[in-house]
A and B are shown apart, each in its own frame.
Chain A
Amino acid sequence: MTALPSLPGRGDESVAIVSTSLPLGGTVGSEAGPSIISLVGVSAAYRGREVIHAVDVSIVPGERLAIVGPNGAGKSTLLRLIAGTIPARSGRVLLGGDPVDRLDRAAVARRVAAVPSVASLPFAMTVEEVVALGRLPHQATFRGPREADRVAVAAAIERAGIGHLVGRDARELSLGERQLVLLAVAVAQSTPILLLDEPTVHLDLRHRVEAMELLVDLNERDGTTVVAVLHDLALAAHFFPRLLIVDGGRLVADGSPAAVLTDDAIRAVFGVDPVHALRS
């Protein structure tokens, strides 16, 4: 793990962000300190349609938080804003105090790894070759993989539990196996920040729990700051000490699972009876 230059961000803004329109409680789980990720009044738009409205979030190093919310709420967009793959229409996105749009892509990729929910491959590639792509931001143009790269790739393969898939063509794997491979790519990237967009949708129950345990391990053992978009509220509540609820492009709650996943919030945001949402 490389330490980020910790310029004073907006980490002191550890104030609960609670929408006035929804009856949601919530307190912020982050303690004061320089934030590794901060979004300050960030809005974003696709083709002129604004999908994120003035969101403020501050995340300190070593936090583990989940973003939940209904489909189309803007959860993935928030991750893209943090990764700098889409521009903010207004406001600022800071990584360790640096505006993400001022860093070059390779510098961002050494700080942030992002796991997409799907990716495609046009040509045959073995699982380990795919995982090795995670080392791209650490490699010079024409140097082959170095020892550090091999170690990182082997460790990522082991931690993602895909050792048995080594040597297989990544295109012939099941959806769940591919998801684990993509997770391993991000682990191999060895960044202080890990973003995950629905990392468990295609996984069976056991792999779901194992993936969550991997995230907890990365967070607690390596100090990786983990931000995951999840649909499964039970998983989110069980494995993440801090939850953000996003609805309609706004941050409507931010705090511990117990504080934000109230019956009223689940009814208001997801439109379902809480009995169905938190079955486990």
Chain B
Amino acid sequence: MASETRAIAAPLTGIRLGRSRWRTTAVVVVAFAAVAGVLVLGVGFGSVAIAPGDSVAILAHRLFGLPVERTWSAAAETIVIDLRLPRVLSAMLVGAGLAVAGVTFQGLLRNPLADPYVLGTASGAALGAAIAVLIPVRLLILELGLLNVFAFVGALVTVAVVYRVGRSGGLTGLLLTGYAVGSLLAAGLAMTMYLSGSNLRQIFSFLLGGFDGASWLRLAIALPLVVGGSVAIVLRSRSLNGLLLGDEAAANLGVDVRRERAILLALASLVTAAGVAISGLIGFVGLLVPHLVRLAVGPDARRVLPLSAVVGAVLLGGADLVARMAGDIPVGVVTALVGAPIFVLLLRRTRTGYEL
């Protein structure tokens, strides 16, 4: 532009695209150290305490096949590998999935208050689980009960309905439809709970979330869905980035908005449903983690998505540990107790929703 010294004075060579590499690297290192820390502490804590040194040795020996000299008892190994590790890994898997789904929903709906449950996955899963509890048949397929299956199906069916009904109204239409359908299903849930009698506790523990029932087999069933869905989302980071500026701008930047929105919504719902089916409803992870990560590394989905997965895994793995240390309280209580104050602090620090 003409006659301006400021444009010339601008440090053009110094323009960084994205936050500094150093900062991103530091965040990645800290995040992975935290993963290791949660893993070791998570398998060590319990009625039979296992020293961190032994935990590390057992994990190194069994997970990575390292030739470690055996200093621990066979009982300790069984406890770590068969009982505690699947639980810790389940919590981490679900935390990672919820965080990735949270990033996706917030980006798709362009709403900082969106979370993985905003379009009905939670209410659908809850109603599905509650109905399963009412059905007097007890069958286990691959260690999964009716409850898990119904929760999974309920979550996906609900999102599909919300999307079909609400998509013509744009983003606001989707959000409002999600809210309306959620309210409707909440009524159904209330009725089911009323009818459930002595099984009420089972419904409650699903609503509050937890990893009591974790097992290697359940983990193995949820893992491909959560990891596969998350990887597919990460591969579509470009679309999420384009959508930052809004639908029309995204289209002008080469994003096929309708198609990408449908695909990403389906993937994020799949990840959420798979996680929720084995853990019950766990709040705040999917809402909070994306914001924390964006504060650290900026809004580029190519960085936010993978890092959110790691932070989500650490947070939920840690929350499950805290829940066990506090005498096996529901993990959803812990995430809410920790998450809500942090979220309020974040809201005070950052403004939300602006025009550009």
Residues of A within 8 A of B (CB): 80, 83, 85, 104-110, 112-114, 116, 118-126, 128-130, 132-134, 136-137, 139, 141-142, 144-145, 149-150, 153-154, 157-161, 163-164, 166, 170-173, 178, 181-182, 185, 189, 210, 213-214
A85 and B251 contact, Cβ closer than 8 Å, known pairs A122-B111, A157-B10, A170-B356: yes
Q: Among B13, B111, B244, B351, find the residue whose CB has the most chain A CB atoms closer than 10 A.
A: B244
A119, B18: Cβ atoms closer than 8 Å: no
Given the contacts A125-B244, A139-B238, A154 and B354 also touching, CB distance less than 8 Å: no
Residues of chain A lying within 8 A (CB to CB) of residue B351 = 171
A137 touches B245 (CB 8 A): no
CB pair A118–B238 under 8 Å, yes or no, is: no
* Prevailing SS type, chain A contact patch: helix
Which of A128, A141, A164 contacts B6, CB < 8 Å? Answer: A164
In B318-356, the 8 Å CB interface with A consists of: 350-356
| Given A122-B110, A125-B244, A142-B237, 17 new contacts (CB under 8 A) | A105-B254, A107-B254, A109-B253, A113-B252, A119-B245, A120-B353, A122-B111, A122-B352, A123-B244, A124-B350, A129-B17, A133-B244, A142-B302, A144-B302, A150-B17, A178-B355, A213-B2
Structural contact, B244 and A137, CB atoms closer than 8 A: no
Which residues of B (266-315) have their CB < 8 Å from a CB of A?
A: 294, 298-300, 302
Residues in chain A near residue B112, CB distance under 8 A = 122-123
Closest 5 pairs (CB-CB, A-B) = A163-B10, A109-B254, A161-B1, A171-B354, A106-B254
CA distance A110 to B255 in the complex (A): 12
Q: Are A133 and B7 in contact, CB atoms less than 8 angstroms apart?
A: no
B17 touches A136 (CB 8 A): no
Q: What residues make up the interface of B, taking CB atoms closer than 8 Å to A?
A: 1-2, 4, 6-13, 15-18, 106-107, 110-112, 235-238, 241-242, 244-246, 248-249, 251-256, 294, 298-300, 302, 350-356
Residues of A contacting B300 in the complex (Cβ-Cβ under 8 angstroms):
129
Tell whether, in the assembled complex, residue B1 and residue A126 are in contact, meaning their CB atoms are under 8 Å apart: no
Q: How far does the Cβ of B233 sit from chain A's closest Cβ, in whole Å?
A: 12
By a CB distance below 8 angstroms, the chain A residues around B253 are 109, 133-134, 136-137, 189
Shortest CB-to-CB span from A160 to chain B, Å, is: 7
A145 in contact with B299 given A136-B242, A170-B356, A210-B1 (CB within 8 Å): no
CB-nearest residue of chain A to B249 = A119
Q: A119-B245, A158-B12 are in contact. Are A105 and B2 (CB under 8 A)?
A: no
Residue of B nearest to A121 (CB): B356
Closest approach, in angstroms, between the C-beta of B77 and any C-beta of chain A? Answer: 39
